[in-house]
A and B are shown apart, each in its own frame.
Chain A
Amino acid sequence: MLLRVSIIVFGLCFSFNALAQLEIQVTRGIDNPTSIAIAPFAWDGLGAAPEDFAQIIDSDLARSGQFSPVSRRDMLSLPTRAEDIFYRDWRAIAARYLVIGRVSKDAQLRVEFALYDVERGIQLFSSQVVGPEFEARMIAHRVADAIYEKLTGIQGAFATRLIYVSVTRNPDGKDFYRLTVADADGQRPIVLLEGRDPILAPSWSPDGKEVAYVSFESSRPAIYRQVLSTGAREQLTNFRGLNNSPVWSPDGKSMALVLSKDGSPDIYLLDLATKQLTRLTRHYAIDTEPTWMPDGKSLLFTSDRGGRPQIYRYTLATGKVERVTFEGRYNARARVAEDGRNVALVHQRDGRFHVAVFDLITERMTVLTETSLDESPSIAPNGSLVIYATKRGERSVLSAVAVDGGVKFSLPARSGSVQEPAWSPMLFSW
C-alpha cells in the first residue's frame, strides 16, 4: 500500500505544486462589473516584498466577476499615500474606485490600505491587516475581503481554503490519489494524503483546523480525521460495509456519517468525545450524504426510500423524517448555505446532472450549470458561490458559479482530474 501522510509545513511542498496547482479562468462575469484600480502597494521592509499584494487583491476581485480591475499598465500614477492621489488620473481611465496601500514588517507583516471613491473624490474606508510573514498571501486575501465587503455589503470569502482530491494516472495505468488543501485561489497546494487507493468525501471541521474524509487505504473504506497543522490523524470508523460521508456538526462536537454495518446505509451520529455511535435513520433504502442545517438541529440527506434519490430532512429532537425535494427524478448530495435557506445539490434534468440551488423557503429549484456530469457542490462560507466538479473530456475539473447564476469560473488543474471540492468555513486564525 503506497501511502504517505505529509506533515504540513508551509512552503515545503514545492514538488507537489506542478501537479496539484489549479489555474483560475473566469468564464462568465456579470454584465457591468465595477471598475476598480489597485495601485501597487509600497514595501517598507528589507529586501524584496514577499508577495505582490496589489496583484493578489486584483485577482481576487476579478475572480468574483463583480469587479473589473484596471490594468497596471494603464495607470497614470502609482500613489501609495493619500497625498499622492490625483483623482483626475483615475477618472481619465474610468476607474470607479481606487485602493492604495503600504506593507511594513517588524515581527509581523502589516498591510495598511485605503479605499477611495474616484467619482466623488473621497476616502471611503481605511484599515490594516497584521499577520505572520508566511501568511502574506492570506493577509492580501483579507484585504480583498474587506474591500469586497465594503463595496458589496457581502462578507468576502477570499481568505478561505479548499480541499479537493486530485487523481493522476500513473504510467502503469493505475490511478494515484492526492488529498490536497489549497488557498481558495488554488495557490499554495499542500498534499495531506496520497496513495493508490481512493480518497473521497472530504469535509471541514467548523473551526477550519481539521478535515475528515474516507480512504480505502486499508482495502476497505474507513473514515479518518486529520489535523491540518500537524498532519496527525485518527481513524474514526472502520465497520463492515460502507463508512462514508463524514460531516462535522456546526458545534464541532459530533459527526454525522453513513454506515451500512446494520444492513442498508443509514445515517449515524458519532460523538467525537465519547466515540458513542447513535443510529439516526432506520430504513432498508439507501440513506446517505448527510449535511447539517446551520443551527445543528436537523440534517438534510439523500434517500431513495421513495424509489429515486431525493433530499429528506431529519430532525434530531423528534427523529422525524420528511421529504424536501419533489421536482425531478434525481436530487442528491445537498449542502446548505450559512443562511440556512439556499441548498446546493445535484439535480437531474433531461438525463443530465446539473448543480442546482433549491430555496428551502420558496421551494424553487434553480439550475446553475449547463454541463451534464456535475457533482460535489460546496458553497462558499459567504454563500455567494458554489464550487463543484464537472467533466471536461475524460478529466474532472473544478468550476465555480455564483448562487445567483451570474459569475462563473473554472479551476482546471495542469494535469489529471480534480474532484470532490469542499470549501472551508471562514478562517479566523492563521
Chain B
Amino acid sequence: MTTKNTLGKAAAVVLMAALVSACSSNAAKEEAAAQAAAERAAAEQAVAAEAAAAEQRAAEKEKAMRMAEKREEKRRLMDAASAAGSVFYFDYDSSTLSDGARAAIDAHVALMMADGGNVRLEGHTDERGTREYNLALGERRANAVRDYMVASGVPSYKVETISYGEENPVAYGSGESSWSKNRRVEIK
C-alpha cells in the first residue's frame, strides 16, 4: 500500500511534472506566437508608415509643385501687371478710363484676385483750374479706377483712394506735354 501509495505519489508527481512541463511548453508557444504577431504588426506598421511617409512625400511634392505653380502664376501676373504699368492717364477734365487703361487695370485685378493684396490709388490732375476743384477731380479719377476694379470682382475694402489734385506733378512746366503726364492715377 505504502509502495502503491508511493508509486501513486510518484506517478502523480510525474504527471504533475508532465503537466507542468506541458504547461510551460504551452506558455513558450504562446509567447512565441505573440512575439510573432507583434513582429508582424510591427512589420505591417512599418509598411504602413512607409506608405504614409511616401504618401506625405508625394503630397509635399505635389504641394511644392502647386506652390511653385502658384508662385509661377503670381510671378506671371506680377510681370503682366508690371508690364501693364501702374500709371493710367486721362484726358483733360475727364475721369473716363481709356481702353488701354482698362486692359492695364485688368492685369492688376488678376494679380489682386490671386494674391488678395490691397492697393492705394492716387489721383492727380494737371495745374489748370483751381486747386480745390482739382482735388475733387483727382478723387473722381481714382474712384473711376476703383469702381472698375470693384466691378471686376475686387472687394472694395481692398482699394484705398486718395487725391493729391495738382499738388504732386511728375512733369513740371506748362504745356500739354507736361499736363498730359500729370493727369493720372497711380497704383501704389
Q: How far is the CA of A288 from the CA of B136 in the complex (A)?
A: 8
Q: Does A375 touch B at the CB level, under 8 Å?
A: yes
Contact of B129 among A220, A265, A375 (CB under 8 A): A375
Q: Which residues of B have CB within 8 Å of A244?
A: 132, 135-136
Q: How far is the CA of A375 from the CA of B173 in the complex (A)?
A: 16
Q: Are A376 and B136 in contact (CB under 8 A)?
A: no
Interface string of B135-179 (1 = CB under 8 A from A): 111011000000000000000000001111101100011100000
Q: Does B128 touch A at the CB level, under 8 Å?
A: yes
Q: Which residues of B have CB within 8 Å of A346?
A: 129-130
> By DSSP majority rule, is chain A's interface helix, strand, loop, or mixed?
strand
Q: Does B131 touch A at the CB level, under 8 Å?
A: yes
Q: Are B164 and A216 in contact (CB under 8 A)?
A: yes
Q: How far is the CA of A289 from the CA of B136 in the complex (A)?
A: 10
Q: Does A332 touch B at the CB level, under 8 Å?
A: yes
Q: Which of B84-130 contact A (CB under 8 A)?
A: 127-130
Q: Does A245 touch B at the CB level, under 8 Å?
A: yes
Q: Are B167 and A200 in contact (CB under 8 A)?
A: yes
Q: How far is the CA of A201 from the CA of B135 in the complex (A)?
A: 11
Q: Does A373 touch B at the CB level, under 8 Å?
A: yes
Q: Which residues of A have CB within 8 Å of B130?
A: 289, 302, 332-333, 346, 375-376
Q: How far is the CA of A258 from the CA of B132 in the complex (A)?
A: 10
Q: A198-B167, A353-B128 are in contact. Are A242 and B139 (CB under 8 A)?
A: yes
What residue in chain A is nearest B137 (Cβ atoms)? A286
> By DSSP majority rule, is chain B's interface helix, strand, loop, or mixed?
mixed
Q: How far is the CA of A391 from the CA of B127 in the complex (A)?
A: 10
Q: Which residues of B have CB within 8 Å of A242?
A: 135-136, 139, 163
Q: How far is the CA of A302 from the CA of B131 in the complex (A)?
A: 12
Q: Which one of B129, B132, B135, B163 has the highest number of Cβ atoms from chain A below 10 Å of its Cβ? A: B132
Q: Which residues of B have CB within 8 Å of A288?
A: 132-133, 135-136
Contact of B128 among A219, A220, A302, A373 (CB under 8 A): A373
Q: Which residues of A have CB within 8 Å of B167?
A: 198, 200, 216
Q: Are B139 and A241 in contact (CB under 8 A)?
A: yes
Q: How far is the CA of A242 from the CA of B167 in the complex (A)?
A: 14
Q: Are B172 and A394 in contact (CB under 8 A)?
A: yes
Q: How far is the CB of A145 from chain B (nearest CB, A)?
A: 31
Q: How far is the CA of A198 from the CA of B139 in the complex (A)?
A: 16
Q: How far is the CA of A219 from the CA of B165 in the complex (A)?
A: 14
Q: Which residues of A have CB within 8 Å of B174?
A: 373, 391, 394
Q: Which 7 A-B pairs have the closest CB atoms?
A: A198-B167, A333-B130, A286-B136, A332-B130, A265-B136, A289-B132, A288-B136
A373-B127, A420-B131 are known contacts; what are 16 more A-B pairs with Cβ within 8 Å? A200-B132, A200-B167, A221-B162, A241-B139, A244-B135, A260-B139, A286-B133, A288-B135, A289-B133, A302-B132, A302-B133, A309-B129, A333-B132, A333-B133, A373-B128, A376-B131
> What are 23 residue pairs bridging A and B, where the CB atoms are less than 8 Å apart in the complex?
A200-B167, A201-B131, A220-B162, A221-B135, A221-B162, A241-B139, A241-B161, A242-B139, A242-B163, A244-B132, A244-B136, A265-B139, A302-B132, A330-B129, A333-B130, A346-B130, A348-B129, A353-B129, A373-B127, A373-B128, A375-B131, A376-B130, A394-B173
